[in-house]
């Protein structure tokens, strides 16, 4: 059925891009004039819709799932812009459908913010959902983490086929207890790795802490991460352990690779006749980090790594996965809406690992809060500048002979990538 909203939305998208505007605005326009656009378009896909949600790791995990499915010959639509609100999905659809609203794809794999995912699944029930974790993140938006768990519960409730859950996160694993329709599958960790991924309750343990979430009985996982090496990892599934090389860095990314494998195998089928497991592992070995999530750029002939941080667990795992030794370090902390306005979580991160080499530059709108936090952990800070562009320039100029690493919140990461695009090759995310 031809809809006038399609050409109008495409026109708005083209004008917005020419003027350098936000990628989600055309989606907002088409949602207003044609509320049924997403449901009508996505309902035609042979394999339906898969939703990826949770506090940490959505973008990189979605990227992994897409590349795994493409290795199986599937045409995949995804909201690659990283705009994980419903209007971002609508905007991405406008870029892919033809003038009659037809989408040439077999399946949609969509990263969705926890709250917006609920709005989406109420309109478009997914066939598959992958729920990664529940951690304290942007409490000024979502409130207590049990509220975030309830949002993920609603996504699972609307899923018609398979729900993939994190066995090691008690609030996520517990969702299975209330599900009656969909099939439930799990991804998990070897016992030796459990200490690397403490739950939110374990991170917050101490006098006066709230009672921990009830830990459900540990279920059998379809894929288990057994070992993480410097550039490879071991995964166990179908009763065997396989080793694959990995371009991804960071133990949290490798754990989410187990999640991506479960979802991809669920969509393709776990039998040898329906899924090419050699192709799946080969594709997994080639996945590069999503922009800003351990992304490595080249500046002055040396690597500059961007590590996104947005909550205590993420920052903690980032510091562990990307140690500071031998690197010049910058930290950029903003408190814009997309970052979360409450930055008190910085006090729940242990920065002792930065003590030996110190931090060369601290920037962002909350630079002085970050510098104060580092001072309490006896971490030397060489310079503080709330303005990201000059701070980054000073950081690069002062460490020309060293590889560099920048820990940054979301909007700080976007600003840093814009500045870096002026001096090096940066992947364009349109």
More reliable by pLDDT, 88 or 263: 263
* 299 and 174 in a common domain: no
Q: What is the 3-state secondary structure (H, E, C) of 171-240?
A: HHHHHHHHCCCCEEEEEEECHHHHHHCCCHHHHCCCCCCCCCCCCCCCCCCCEEEEEECCCEEEEEECCE
pLDDT at 18: 39
pLDDT at 2: 42
Please count the structural domains in the chain.
Answer: 2
When pLDDT is averaged across residues 332-356 and rounded to a whole number, the result is 91
Output the domain CATH number for residue 402.
3.90.190.20
* 42 and 172 in a common domain: yes
* 23 and 151 in a common domain: yes
Q: Is the pTM value of this prediction over 0.85?
A: no
* 142 and 208 in a common domain: yes
**Residue 426 domain-assigned?**
no
Total residues found in the chain within this entry:
430
* 149 and 60 in a common domain: yes
**Residue 430 domain-assigned?**
no
* 308 and 202 in a common domain: no
Give the end of a domain, one of 286, 314, 332.
286
The whole-chain average pLDDT of the chain stands at 85
Residue 314: which domain range? Answer: 293-420
* 231 and 165 in a common domain: yes
Question: Where is average pLDDT lowest: 22-31, 141-150, 275-284?
Answer: 22-31
> In this prediction, what percent of the chain has a pLDDT beyond 90?
55
Half-sphere exposure (Cβ direction) of 78: Cα atoms closer than 13 Å: 26
Give the end of a domain, one of 286, 305, 332.
286
Contacts of 339 (CB under 8 A, 6+ apart): 138, 310, 333, 409, 410, 411, 412
Residue 428 predicted with pLDDT over 90: no
* 263 and 297 in a common domain: no
- In tens, the pLDDT along 103-160 reads 899 999 999 988 889 989 999 999 999 999 987 654 544 456 788 899 999 999 999 9
- In tens, the pLDDT along 220-241 reads 999 999 999 988 999 999 999 9
* 253 and 172 in a common domain: yes
More reliable by pLDDT, 424 or 164: 164
Residue 74 predicted with pLDDT over 90: yes
* 315 and 214 in a common domain: no
Output the domain CATH number for residue 100.
3.40.1190.10
* 323 and 250 in a common domain: no
* 235 and 136 in a common domain: yes
């Amino acid at each position: 059925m031809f809809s006038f909203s399609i050409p109008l939305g495409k026109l708005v998208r083209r004008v917005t891009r020419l003027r350098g505007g936000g990628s989600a605005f055309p989606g907002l326009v088409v949602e207003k004039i044609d509320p049924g656009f997403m449901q009508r378009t996505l309902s035609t896909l042979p394999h339906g819709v898969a939703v990826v949600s949770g506090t940490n790791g959505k973008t990189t995990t979605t990227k992994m799932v897409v590349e795994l499915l493409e290795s199986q010959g599937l045409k995949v639509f995804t909201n690659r812009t990283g705009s994980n609100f419903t209007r971002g999905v609508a905007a991405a659809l406008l870029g892919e459908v033809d003038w009659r609203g037809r989408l040439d794809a077999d399946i949609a794999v969509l990263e969705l913010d926890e709250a917006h995912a609920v709005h989406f699944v109420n309109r478009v029930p997914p066939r598959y959902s992958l729920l990664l974790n529940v951690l304290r993140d942007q409490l000024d938006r979502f409130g207590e983490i049990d509220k975030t768990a309830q949002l993920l519960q609603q996504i699972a409730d609307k899923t018609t086929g398979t729900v993939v859950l994190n066995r090691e996160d008690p609030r996520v694993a517990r969702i299975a207890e209330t599900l009656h329709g969909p099939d439930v599958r799990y991804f998990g960790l070897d016992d030796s790795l459990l200490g690397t991924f403490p739950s939110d309750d374990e991170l917050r343990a101490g006098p006066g802490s709230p009672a921990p979430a009830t830990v459900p009985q540990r279920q059998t996982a379809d894929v288990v991460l057994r070992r993480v090496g410097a550039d490879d990892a071991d995964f166990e599934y179908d009763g065997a352990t396989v080793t694959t090389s990995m371009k991804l860095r960071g133990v949290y990314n490798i754990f989410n690779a187990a999640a991506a494998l479960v979802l991809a195998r669920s969509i393709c089928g776990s039998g040898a006749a329906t899924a090419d497991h050699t192709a799946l592992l080969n594709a997994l070995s080639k996945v590069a980090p999503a922009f800003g999530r351990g992304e490595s750029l080249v500046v002055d002939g040396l690597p500059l790594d961007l590590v996104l941080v947005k909550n205590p667990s993420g920052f903690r795992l980032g510091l562990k996965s990307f140690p500071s030794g031998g690197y010049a370090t910058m930290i950029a902390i903003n408190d814009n809406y997309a970052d979360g306005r409450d930055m008190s979580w910085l006090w729940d991160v242990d920065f002792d690992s930065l003590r030996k080499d110190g931090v060369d530059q601290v920037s962002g709108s909350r630079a002085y809060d970050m510098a104060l936090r580092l001072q309490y952990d006896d971490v030397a800070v060489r310079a503080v500048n709330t303005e990201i562009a000059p701070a980054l320039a000073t950081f690069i100029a002062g460490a020309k002979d060293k590889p560099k690493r920048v820990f940054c919140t979301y909007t700080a990461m976007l600003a840093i990538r814009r500045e870096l695009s002026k001096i090096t090759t940066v992947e364009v995310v349109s």
